[in-house]
Structure 1
Amino acid sequence: MQEGNQAGPAFGRVLLKISGEALMGEESFGIKPEVLSYVAHELQVAHELGVQIGVVLGGGNIFRGVSKSAQSMDRVQADYMGMLATVMNSLALQDALEQKGISVRVMTAVQMPQVAEPYIRRRAVRHLEKGRVVIMAAGTGNPYFSTDTAAALRAEEIGAEVLLKATKVDGIYESDPVKDPNANKLEALTYDEVLLRKLRVMDLTAISLAGENQLPIVVFDLRKPGNIKRVLMGEPIGSRVEV
């Protein structure tokens, strides 16, 4: 990871993971138009840097396979419903970005050709090389795997230099900062430290996959305007997980 004092971006290609909950703002469900527009603007600013951007969205604002509403359901069925929720979020973000004049492709792990392109790694890379934002939806296409794991997997597949985890907090803490105002922020950790301390950064499968492939992770606050650009420029914000 490069320092932030160079003239251009620190990264050429990145994978940005955004939770579905981030799109609902302070609402309890769905997509808040103002938040969607804000996220699209932040991505527009980042895209103008010339960085190739892949995006994976969660679906927790609509449906999550491990949510309370899914407890009585078959887990596989519920996870597929969660995948469809990520597709809905991806189409919404695609529309918001296209309204700002950005070329976007939504690619899905579950085939639905009337809605989006099927995810094919080489095609995704080609879209990125042509300057398009690529939104990769429907997780890995398999139940029991979270969108965090999908993000780590897609980041490796497309050759991203870093996995950016955009959240509602400004980094990784020893405990939940919402519940514990005295929680200490951890600015730099190794993958092993995250696993051993069971920190709630991403799920353990995602952390393990990133660690095995030495894929850096940066966790930062999406709600602060300009943060995506700051991360791309190599500024030391949020928390980093590296070797």
Structure 2
Amino acid sequence: MNGYEILKFFSVQIVLIAVVLILHTYIGLHIIRRTLIFSDLVLDQFAAFGAMVGVALGIEYGTATSYLPALIAVLFGALLLGDKLCGGGTYVKKTLAGSMLWVTWPLVVVTAVTYIVLIIFHFLFRDKFISLVERPGTNPNERLWDFLLFTTQGIITVLIVPIAGVLLAYAFLMIPATIAALFTRRWLLAVFVGWLIGFLACVSGVCASYFLNLPYGPTLVLSLGICFVFAVLIRCFRRQPA
């Protein structure tokens, strides 16, 4: 393939990554600054097991019904069930690494629209959500905003895990936000820094995956991880974050 065909093929993934990283970086900042590191991983496991239950029950992948079982799950059950399924190893691999390489424009549009609606909602009520971190206990409706925050996290987890897999979904949520948190305490700047570094890392991962013939999802995770290591090294030689 020539350069144009390569760009056209990967444009679907690049657009999806660009949209997804905005909200994932923002939610990731909430998780880090409130020390709720592992809650997202639990939700990823829930969605992963639910997807396997759907496959075992014969529900066709990609239908509206196929997303419902993602509400029930646990990691051990997923591994046991996967072992008993025909081709269970493939299902486990797909659950961890995802199939983002083969996403289609209709799926990207639906996912992007959902993310954009959630981004607008969080932007309009940003003061309420940020107060959960900066001024805990001062909001009379704190439980409501907590519920809405984690509902958002649940929605994006159910949406992204079937596409990107557990590993990449976790990387999207935690690595860009962690890098941003190393350099700034300001929310808007942190979201921008996390998005920019995450996007550049993922584009680099896409290129490396294609030219070096490497698995797509793990290569993106590795690219994000390399950026995180460099960010930590740079941070060691800087003063306190802005």
Structure (1 or 2) with the larger CA radius of gyration: 2
TM above 0.5: no
Structure holding more helix per residue: 2
Structure holding more strand per residue: 1
- TM-score bucket (shorter structure): under 0.3
Which of structures 1 and 2 has the larger relative contact order (alpha carbons within 8 angstroms, sep 6+)?
A: 2
State the TM-score, normalized to the length of structure 2. Answer: 0.27
State the TM-score, normalized to the length of structure 1. Answer: 0.27
